[in-house]
Amino acid sequence: MIKLYLAMAVLLIIAVIIVLLAGLRQRRQSVDRESENRDWYEQRLAELEQDKNKQRISQETFEEAKLELDKTFISDSRDIEGEVTWKRANPFIPIAIILAIAVGFYAMFGSWSLQKQADDALAQLPELGQRLLQEQQQADVESMQTFALGMRQKLAAKPDDPMAWWLYAGIMSDLRQFDQAQQAFEKSLALAPNRTGTLISYARFLMSSPTEERLRKAAGMLARVLQQQPTHIEALSLTGFVAYERGDWKQAIAAWQQLMPLLDNESQRSNAVQQAIADAQQKLQAADRSVTVTVSLGEQMRDQLPQQGTLFIYVTATQGPPMPAAVKRLAVNDWPVTVTLTDADSMLPDYRLSGLDQWQVKAMVSQDDKIDREAGDLFAEPMTINAQRSVEVALTLNQKVTEVAND
């Protein structure tokens, strides 16, 4: 493309030179005509003077002839100026011709070059595929791009090949062209919905950027593999990791425990799975933690209770963000009130009751359905306790917010 731009620039310069030379030629033609006219004038004037000196014509005749000669000279000079000097060369015609030539060159040779590059990539596919398979992580970007170009040529000629779409999806993922990779995975699955290699690769691709939707989709693909092959090692391993990412510790443990008998006990992978199971078991035990809170209303607060108030019972960290790790929201008429807080009451998937070593248990009645304290809200004295598997706490609403303050 750079070479094309340079060629077009050179052609444009040539066009400008042609225009300038055309103008220069016109000027030279004008000068030549003027010179000839002056020579003729001077010659005729000399002949008149010679005739007068030899008394062939009178002085009066000489004056009349000279006046006519002057008029003729001036008239001829004006004709030359109007004929040549004021005629300007048109620059657009040569420029248009040169641009048309440049476009023609690009159409013939530029597209030909791109097609040749694509044909070469297609011819190199078998060799490149074998080399990329051997090099794997050490493959250079240029080789992968050439392989991708060849695969596009192959898919253009044979778009119903699920294996080719699967290979193309993998190379585009390596090139970080994630949208194209996902489209290729989808096309491969549409052609072969139960192909194990595609299901496993696509699930792993979705797990690389985990969101709840992508993890759910990956779990469904892995389930399809396990329906066909219940002891598929990769499917069991990835199923455990998907469940772990989603916080489903029981399913993660179950998948990995089913995987363990299929592995060599002394292998590095077996050790890694054992550590993952232990970690998931620890998180499962922490997830079973709960705090049961009983909230009563102090006698002196009964007359000050908002008519449309909302009761919030929640747990925060003793140090750190004030956001609740677990919260219950209730409209209450009868007292006391007892609730149990667990990880199911968390506001965020990555900020839970089980993730805290200490809990600060709080309760308040809000006038405006907001958990932030405002003047007129009722609240209980917070209680700080160590995180436990199961614990009970009693709080009493016996204070009223008189001015806005932070928790």
**pLDDT tier for residue 306 given thresholds of 50, 70 and 90:** confident
- Give the end of a domain, one of 218, 252, 286: 286
The pLDDT assigned to 75 comes to: 64
Q: How far apart are CA 233 and CA 240, in angstroms?
A: 11
Is residue 104 domain-resident?
no
Q: Which CATH number does the domain housing residue 358 bear? A: 2.60.40
> Between β-strands 337-341 and 383-386, what pairing exists: parallel, antiparallel or unpaired?
unpaired
Between 37 and 29, the higher pLDDT residue: 37
Residue 114 has pLDDT above 50, yes or no: no
The whole-chain average pLDDT of the chain stands at: 78
Q: How far apart are CA 238 and CA 276, in angstroms?
A: 12
Q: Which CATH number does the domain housing residue 257 bear? A: 1.25.40.10
277 and 144 part of one domain: yes
Residue 17 has pLDDT above 90, yes or no: no
The pLDDT assigned to 73 comes to: 58
The pLDDT assigned to 122 comes to: 47
Is residue 129 domain-resident?
no
Q: How far apart are CA 167 and CA 188, in angstroms?
A: 9
How do residues 43-102 score in pLDDT, each as one tens digit?
A: 777 776 777 777 777 777 767 666 666 666 566 665 555 554 444 545 555 556 556 655
Q: How far is CA 188 from CA 55, 152, 157, 167, in A?
A: 114, 14, 16, 9
Say if residue 377 is exposed, middle or buried (CB neighbours under 10 Å; 0-12, 13-18, 19+): buried
271 and 384 part of one domain: no
159 and 262 part of one domain: yes
Q: What secondary structure letter does DSSP report for 303?
A: G
Is residue 124 domain-resident?
no
Number of Cβ within a 10 Å radius of residue 249: 22
The pLDDT assigned to 94 comes to: 58
Structural domains of the chain, count: 3
Comparing CA positions, the residue from 22, 25, 29, 28 lying closest to residue 95 is 22
Sign of CA dihedral 259, 263, 269, 273: positive
24 and 65 part of one domain: yes
How do residues 242-275 score in pLDDT, each as one tens digit?
A: 999 988 889 999 999 999 999 998 889 999 999 9
Is residue 130 domain-resident?
no
- For residue 47, the enclosing domain spans 2-99
296 and 324 part of one domain: yes
174 and 282 part of one domain: yes
282 and 342 part of one domain: no
- Give the end of a domain, one of 82, 99, 116: 99
95 and 58 part of one domain: yes
61 and 193 part of one domain: no
- Give the end of a domain, one of 240, 269, 286: 286
Percent pLDDT > 90 in the chain is: 35
Entry pTM = 0.55
**pLDDT tier for residue 200 given thresholds of 50, 70 and 90:** very high
3-state secondary structure of 389: coil
Is residue 134 domain-resident?
no
Residue 19 has pLDDT above 70, yes or no: no
**pLDDT tier for residue 364 given thresholds of 50, 70 and 90:** very high
333 and 394 part of one domain: yes
74 and 22 part of one domain: yes
Lowest mean pLDDT among 36-40, 42-46, 99-103, 145-149: 99-103
Reading the block at residue 1, the tokens are 């493309």
280 and 146 part of one domain: yes
Is residue 132 domain-resident?
no
Phi, psi of 183 (to 5 degrees): -60, -40
